[in-house]
Every structure is written in C-alpha cells, then in structure tokens.
Structure 1
Amino acid sequence: MADAAVRTATPDDVPEIARIHRDTWRTAYRDLLPEEVLADLDPAAGWAEAVAAGQVLVATEGRWLVGYCSVGAAPADEVALANGSLPADAATTALVSVLVEPRWGRRGHGGRLLAEASGRLRDAGATRAIAWVPEADKSSTAFYRKAEWEPDGTVRTLDAGGRPLREIRVSGGLTPPSPG
C-alpha cells in the first residue's frame, strides 16, 4: 500500500470531500433512500463550513483523498436518551461520522480516521463519542463494532424524501482498542 495518512482537511479538500460524500451515498444507500434524494444530494456548502471550523479530518493514500471524518461536540438532541433527558456526560460527548470511499475500503483508512479523531477529541476533553448509522448499513455497523463501539439502544426515524430511514446510534469510548 502507498503511504497512508490522516490530516486536518483544508479548503482545497472540500470538492473532493463533497464528491466522496455524494458518490458513496449514491452507491451505498441506493436501496435505502429514494433516487430523487440521492440525485439532489449536493453537500459542498456544508463541508466548506465544517472544514473552515477545523471539524474534518481526511484520510489519504499516496496523492489520493480516500475518506473523511467529521468531528465535533454532540448537540443535545443527538445525545439525548430515548426519554429526552440528557445523560450525565452530555457536555463531554462528541458526534463523529466516518466515511471511506468503497474502492478504498478495507485498507485501514476508517480505523486511522477514527483513531485520530478519538485522540483529538480526548485531548479536547471529550469522554465518549456517538455516531448515527442507518440500521440497514451492516458494513458501517460492523466497522464501529470492530472499534468497540456498540449500539446504545437509541433509534430515530428520519423522513428521507417520503421514505422512512431508521438509524441506530452507536457509542464508544475514545481510548484506542487493545492490540490483538
């Protein structure tokens, strides 16, 4: 494998981050989301803002940008318990999202992104993180489980262009998993 690395995203990365987001969702979620939702997906503006705020890491292999991880404090509505109350660690819980373009998958990029994000979040005072994953996305669920993140029993249903999309919340600590 060529040199693989993780670094903070720059404004020059935004078009490629948006392309990876759009193309990967159009492939991975074509059976979960209506065609018109995927066709209209244009995430560039949102990524520019997140990159400018320093909330995006990118994975590279050689000269290619192959994936990204967005990180930040978890909004109260994202970390709330099923009954709407906030857990004791709500103020130190982060929200994470990892996506690696499928053609670059299974090469360790997702794990490197999550490890770097975890270290940075821990250094900033976070104690754990959460991520939302479509319930039917077994690949992403398996990725988080391998990192010792587990579904915490919280689910939500989003309106995806008139089609319900059920997501599960996974939660994990910010310490690196034990080797082996």
Structure 2
Amino acid sequence: MALFSSSDGASADVSVRPAVPGDEDAVTRVQLAAWRGARALGDAVVDLVDPDAVRRRWRDAITAPPGPGFAVLVALAGPAVVGFAAVAPGTLLVLEVDPEHRRGGHGSRLLAAAVDRLRADGADDMVTWVLEGDDGRERFLGEAGLGPDGAERALAVGMDEDGVRSVVERRWSALL
C-alpha cells in the first residue's frame, strides 16, 4: 500500500485491489459520475441509464466474470472506492475515476494494475477505446505510452430531434 501526501501534510492510504462483492454500488456511482462529466455523452443520455441495471452488470462482472482474463479492479482512498478499471484479454475495457478524486494518482495506479493483470494473463499488447473529444483521457493515455492506432467506431447513444445521436470512439493501443 502506498501513501499519498496531501498539500496540508495529511496522508491517506491509497491502493488498488481486485473488486469484491459489494463494490458494485461504488463502481456504479463512479461510472455514472464519470459519464456525467464526459460531455460527449450529454446529460440527456446519462439520464436514460438505469442505475440498477448498471449495478447488476457490475455485480455479475465482479462475482462471475464471463471467462478467463476478465477482471474488475478498484482504486481506494482509505476504505472508499474512488475509481475502477475492467479488463478482458488484451483489452482495457474501462478506467474511470470519480471526478472529485482525479489528479490524485488513482488513474495511474489503476492503469498499472490493469497492465500487470493483462501481462499475467499472457497479453503482449493492449487496446482501449477513447471518446472523441475526451482530451484529458487522451493526454493521460498518451503520457502512459498508448497512442491512437487509426481504428474508430461510431456508437449510437440515443435519439435527438434529428434522429439517432452517435459518438465516435478511437482505438488506442500499446505493446506491453
């Protein structure tokens, strides 16, 4: 466990561990807060999300992963879950930190733990997807050694007055 010293001299325990049953509530809270902060999705889209369905999916991912190489990791500040990452073989599926806890090293610790997990499962490279316009995530991933590899996809995220609204994601990758 590492210690993080704040500017006022106080310290708090920070760490990353595998998610355990019961973490799904905090993971859902962090994910919805992060989605609200991702302007590309828009509040109207996030308002349509059923938090109970998201919570059930995270509970299932934590308690019964769909196969080998799937895992959910959580970042802690003391006993509180403040971020999470999920991996599948060769893929960082998601990495989110509660907006109120960003810039505290939680994202870097989660990414390092995710890479360790992928390597332990035999991965030689890693991919992840980034929403167009998420400059902060691009900066974070770029500083960690990932980069766009040219692949992109459009995802339908809801309807607006002009029809289906979609967002573009770009794939980022790195050798491990």
Q: TM-score range by the shorter chain?
A: 0.7 to 0.9
Cα deviation for residue 24 of structure 1 reads 1.6
1:69 partner letter:
A
CA distance in 1, matches of 2:73, 2:175: 19
CA contact (8 A) 2:40 2:132 kept: no
Matched, 1:33 2:41: yes
Matched, 1:144 2:141: yes
Q: How many residues align?
A: 153
Moved more, 10-19 or 48-57: 48-57
Which residue in 1 is equivalent to 2:104?
107
CA distance in 2, matches of 1:150, 1:34: 25
Which residue in 2 is equivalent to 1:119?
116
Matched, 1:128 2:138: no
Unaligned runs of 5+ in 1: 74-92, 175-180
CA distance in 1, matches of 2:43, 2:83: 23
Unaligned runs of 5+ in 2: 5-11, 159-163
Cα deviation for residue 64 of structure 1 reads 1.4
The match for 2:150 among 149, 153, 156 is 153
Q: If the length of structure 2 is used for normalisation, what is the TM-score?
A: 0.82
1:49-88 map, 5 Å: 49-52=60-63, 53=65, 55-73=71-89
Q: Deviations over 1:67-116 (max 9, x none)?
A: 0000012xxxxxxxxxxxxxxxxxxx334321111111111111111111
Deviating 4+ runs (over 3 angstroms) = none
Q: If the length of structure 1 is used for normalisation, what is the TM-score?
A: 0.80
Q: Judging by fraction of residues, say which structure has more strand.
A: 2
